[in-house]
Amino acid sequence: MRNGCLVAIVGLLLPGAAGAQGLGPRTLLPMQVQCAELPLTSAPTVPLTVAASERGDGRMVLSLGEMAVIQAGTTQGLSLGQTFAARRVDRGRENYNGNWDGYNGVRFGGDGYYGGMRTIALLTVERIDERWALARIVKACDQVEVGDSLAPLAQPQLPAPDAAGAPDFEDRAMVLFGRDLREVFGDGDILSINRGTSHGVTPGMRFALFHTPGGGMPLSERGEVVVLNVDENTSRAVVVRVREYIQLGDTAVRVVPGRVWK
């Protein structure tokens, strides 16, 4: 077997396998992708933030339908009707040092944790002048907080998945986390892997997932994901087929379209 690894495969990459040409068992919307964390490789630049609630009562948390104050206006290039994504960095758990089985972790600041950039909500500018803008929360994954960063909306486009094939074990990636730093996944869930554009990953690519039980046992098949959107060193992917639950630290191996399992 390639690289001396015995791999338990049961229909993982066979043509016509259940869900092989879909993006998960449930309808997947761009907002579901936005709501899942994308791991960071460096501290983000934050040019705009939520400055305050429009109510002016000192509240620090805003909900769907409320108006947020942005301390920028037409002078800074903002415009009426423009939509922004409110985002927040989750730096991860204090007992996680950013490394897993020999893989380098994401390190920024002085903490050395994997950090997830969360899209909290979408806000649309309804009032504006030269210095200030008021934006209404029109869609929300969570409550918006004063200080959340704002970036012009770039809604992810759901890709067509690559054709089925067989995995290439020469380059083994790792499953990271999902929304709210979730570590266990099933059908239709969105997770992240530590591969991105710098590794040649593009939307639509397939990755086969395996678990290493330890104790000299062979790799165990877990399922398959399709990449949804890609950052420089990380990607978000949706689980399109699962044989067993998937978890943080599982191995992700790129599937080569048309390749035959040997």
Per-residue model confidence (pLDDT) at position 138: 97
Please give the CATH number for the structural domain made up of 2-28+158-257.
2.40.10.410
Cβ 141 vs Cβ 97: under 8 Å: no
What is residue 122's predicted lDDT score, i.e. its pLDDT?
96
Record: fold of 39-152:
M1 Pyruvate Kinase; Domain 3 (2.40.33)
- Give dist(CA 201, CA 231) in Å, integer: 9
Which of 144, 30, 130, 129 has the alpha carbon at shortest distance from 87?
A: 144
Pairing mode of beta strands 251-257, 165-174 = antiparallel
Domain residue ranges of the chain, discontinuous segments joined by + = 2-28+158-257, 39-152
Which pLDDT does position 179 carry in this prediction?
Answer: 80
0.85 exceeded by the pTM?
Answer: no
Two tokens, residue 50 = 């939520």
Q: Output the tens digit of pLDDT for each of the chain's 262 residues.
A: 444 444 443 333 333 333 334 466 667 778 888 888 887 766 677 789 999 999 989 899 999 999 999 999 999 999 999 999 999 876 544 333 444 344 344 444 444 445 678 889 999 999 999 999 999 999 999 999 999 999 998 877 788 888 888 888 888 898 988 887 788 999 889 999 989 999 999 999 999 999 887 666 678 889 999 999 898 888 999 999 888 889 988 999 999 887 766 6
Query: Using CA atoms, how far apart are residues 170 and 152, in angstroms rounded to an integer?
Result: 38
**Side chain identity, residue 76:** Q
**Nearest Cα to 22, choosing from 241, 207, 258?**
241
Amino acid at 42: S
> Which residues are CB-contacts of 138 (< 8 A; sequence separation ≥ 6)?
64, 83, 121, 122, 123, 124
Predicted pLDDT at 16: 36
Residue 107's SS3 state is: coil
Kindly report the backbone phi and psi dihedral angles of residue 4, in degrees, each rounded to the nearest multiple of 5, phi listed first.
70, 15
Q: For residues 169 and 248, give the distance between their C-alpha atoms in angstroms, rounded to a whole number.
A: 19
Q: How far apart are CA 152 and CA 122, in angstroms?
A: 10
